[in-house]
Structures are given as structure tokens and as C-alpha cells.
Amino acid sequence: MVETWDAFEGVRDPAMLEASSLKSPVTGPIYVTGAEPGDALRVDLISITPKDELTHMVMPGRGFLQEEFTEAHATVMTFESGHVVMPSGLRLPLVPSMGFVATTPVYPQRTASDSGPYGGDVDMKELVAGSTIWLPVLIPGGLLALGDCHAVVGDGAVAGTGAECSSDTHIQVTVEKGMNIGSPRALTPDYFVVLAHGEELDLAMKRAVRGMVEFLVQEKGMAPYDAYTLLSLAGDIRVSRTFRPISPVKMMLARSVFEQLNRGPRAADTKAEERPA
């Protein structure tokens, strides 16, 4: 069980929060015995339980309309019967997801909200309980960290944050030897996902598409044009969030399609199922 703190470290007063001081605390690093560069950490999210009250914060200098919404503005919400309840009484289904999951990179992050080949602040709303994410191991022990739980969040987090909360999260970590993946992969209840990142959004999106095509060719045995066509017909490319120095992008293929492919990936085939989970 891993306990994570909310992104605002318990602070709720907008006057005490500035975009420059938001630290996005995470729990870790967790040393994983036997993990070496070239391996991958398989992280199974068994349960994610939000705690305490929830807060959304419009932060100056963040969000899609930052030139129009220039003041810090906090919205404090509560839980009730599986829903997030806004002050207006509007009820949103509770869908807790883990925003930050990462191994430790070999270079320093510029900000706490960076993402990269190691994972990071990916803000992937599909990363819910029942999901698995594979992260490259870049240094001995992997040094896993996670946090930034969202009780609910939309793609893009257009006003700057999700419904930020602390959590108790039950995970199981397995070392996948010699997996040699270049970026994170995830299997969620609904999708197989390849994650990518970039300082320029168009290049990040191209990287995500290319990563999924390469996966389908190398690990599913598809012809390149067949893989590319499949993604055009049945794939979705989405932005987890932007207006940060580095934007995470996800190339998604529905599991109903993914599971029809004849050769299982190392991250989701029958051999993987036979290994200790």
C-alpha cells in the first residue's frame, strides 16, 4: 500500500498557492530489487482510494485560457455515494486515477510536472484501478515514484488541474527482465496505450503514433501499412494535458480490437500472464 499526498500538500487557500510554488509531491523513490537498466517495471494498480476533501485550483499562468482567467480560484469538493459533489450540487462520477507514475530518469527534470521516457506527470485519466503500466528501468533498482491522484479529471485538464486528492493506493510491482521498451505502455480496462511526450505537441503526437505502429509491427507481427491503417480506423490519439513545458500524449487502441490481434505483446500475452503478477 502506498500513501500519496495531494498536489497542493493540503493547502486550500489560493492566496498561499502560486504556480511557481506547486511542488506536486510524490511518494518514493521505491527501490525494486533485481531491476536493472533494460528491464521494465510492471506496476499493477489494484486499488486507488481517494482520501480527504478534493480541490481544483485555477492557477495563474496555467490552463488553456490563462490570459482570461488570471486569478487563483479554489473549488473545494466532497465525496458522496461514489460521486464528486461540487459546491453547486453538481455531481460527477468518482473515477480515481494516478496522475504521476515514474521510474527515475538519468537526467534531472526541469519541473515537477515533466514527463519523459520514464513516465512522470502523465495525467492519464484512464490509469484507474485494474490498470497496468510498464515503465523503462533506467538506473539500478528503478526507483519508482507515484502520486498526484485525481478523483476525476478530463483530458487536457483545461483549467490547470484535476480534482486533486490524497490517496491510499494498492500496487503490485514486478520486474520484466530485458523488456527494453523506450517509453511507457499501459493496459487499462478499456485500452492498450503507448505514451509519448514532447516540447512540441505535433511532434509528441507523431512520436506516439510511431510508437504504437512499431509495437504492432514488432510485437504483434503486423505489416507496417496494416498497423498504420488500423490506427487510423480504430485508434485514438489524445492529449493528457498541455500548456506545460513538456506535454504527454497517448496513442490508444481499444482492448476489443487489441485482443483480436494474433500475437500477444510481451506486456500482455499469455507468457506474461504465466509470470508472477
Tens of pLDDT, residue by residue over 170-219, are: 999 999 999 999 999 999 999 999 999 988 888 999 999 999 999 999 99
| Residue ranges in the chain assigned as alpha helix (H) | 201-220, 224-234, 255-258, 270-274
Query: Would you tell me the crossing angle of helices 224-234 and 201-220 to the nearest 10 degrees?
Result: 120
Tens of pLDDT, residue by residue over 17-40, are: 554 455 668 999 999 999 999 999
The pLDDT value recorded for residue 149 is 95
Say yes or no to pLDDT of 265 above 70.
no
Amino acid letter at 151? A
Tens of pLDDT, residue by residue over 37-67, are: 999 999 999 999 998 778 888 877 788 898 9
Average pLDDT in the 217-239 region?
A: 96
3-state secondary structure of 271: helix
Indicate the pLDDT class of residue 243, thresholds 50, 70 and 90.
low
CA–CA dist 55, 76 (Å, integer)? 5
The pLDDT value recorded for residue 20 is 45
Neighbour-count burial for 32-68, b at 16+ CB within 10 Å, e otherwise: beebeeebbbbbbbeebebbebbbbbbbbebbeebee
CB 136 within 8 A of CB 196: no
Indicate the pLDDT class of residue 2, thresholds 50, 70 and 90.
very high
Domain boundaries of the chain, sorted by first residue: 2-185
More confident residue, 109 or 132: 132
Indicate the pLDDT class of residue 226, thresholds 50, 70 and 90.
very high
The pLDDT value recorded for residue 201 is 86
CA–CA dist 34, 190 (Å, integer)? 31
Percent of the chain at pLDDT exceeding 90: 65
The CATH homologous superfamily to which domain 2-185 belongs is Acetamidase/Formamidase-like domains (2.60.120.580)
The pLDDT value recorded for residue 55 is 85
The pLDDT value recorded for residue 21 is 52
- If 0-12 CB within 10 Å is exposed, 13-18 middle and 19+ buried, where does residue 225 land? exposed
Amino acid letter at 198? G
pTM, two decimal places: 0.89
The pLDDT value recorded for residue 69 is 92
CB 14 within 8 A of CB 90: no
